[in-house]
Structure 1
């Protein structure tokens, strides 16, 4: 029997997943902007760093809301293990498994970000590179497993996110991109 509560859980699960993708995209864009050492849209680097951290934590919050609402939703028929061990789900196990991998990577990146001062900058940076795997895997999960994953509006949204991140990555890989530490060295000379 489909109750109003079940429908609400399903709607919250879908909506929080969409918001999480947008916030994760924004977090990746801000993270790349922070590494440049330059102001981003006129905002000083320290402010961009704070916004990046807050957006990252909000994206984690929306991912957790996404997971908990779908765990409680009887239609989704998910088990707790489905969120930590990939490819075990009963419904679309491959696409659900991609979401599980993205979630696991997000947890690792978040923990190391919170422990940044204890683990040191080299370890933090090495683990933080996992974002470049986590983000596209989460987008693929959303397209393949999401209720609206193949709807035109969502494909436009996902495509816009992909174009934005691809552009930012291209900028980061371009020879004119200057890492923050290099900017700081030039300023002290």
Structure 2
């Protein structure tokens, strides 16, 4: 495969991953907080969360595969699983490796959720915040397009979306539901 094409595939897949991961995290947070779009059942939000996570997994495979195959960057298969070992931007690539390892843990525990139990699964799944932060930092430091105005705007929008989801997901209404209005006693006697 052409080296220039691999470079474009690596860049494009990385840029697609950030909004995909953002959507997965936002849906996960809102579902956990019992929030969802009006009129949509909870299972639909969960199904969308899972489907986007699977799509993101496919893009991760494309991203990692194209980076390893690209001869311009010095990233090997060992660098994919050993953090901070890469010759190409070792710190930022290492953050991506940590994110990938954490993603493997998130996926593995989700597949074994029934055997692990809800409490253990939630404990590991809570690391999704760390995963998102690592992914965002990796993109900002290792990505070639994330330093452009539009790359920074995309990263900022994704960070804001996750932060807003956290605020909405953690907030509880401070008001009680209003009781239905009662009829005045005079009218209640008239209808008997």
TM range (shorter): 0.7 to 0.9
- Unaligned runs of at least 5 residues, structure 1: 178-189
Does 2:69 align with 1:76?
A: no
Match for residue 84 of structure 2 among 64, 84, 87 = 87
Number of corresponding residues: 174
Contact 1:23 1:59 in 2 (8 A): yes
Name the counterpart of 1:157.
Answer: 154
Name the counterpart of 1:110.
Answer: 107
Runs of 4+ off more than 4 Å? none
Flag the structure with larger Rg: 2
Match for residue 125 of structure 2 among 105, 111, 128 = 128
What does 1:162-177 align with in structure 2 at a 5 Å threshold?
A: 162-176=159-173
Distance in 1, Cα, partners of 2:19 & 2:35 = 23
Contact 2:34 2:169 in 1 (8 A): no
Match for residue 46 of structure 1 among 22, 28, 43 = 43
- Classify 1:135/1:45 alpha carbon distance in 2 versus 1 (closer, same or farther; 3 Å): same
Name the counterpart of 1:185.
Answer: none
Contact 1:21 1:138 in 2 (8 A): yes
- Unaligned runs of at least 5 residues, structure 2: 175-192
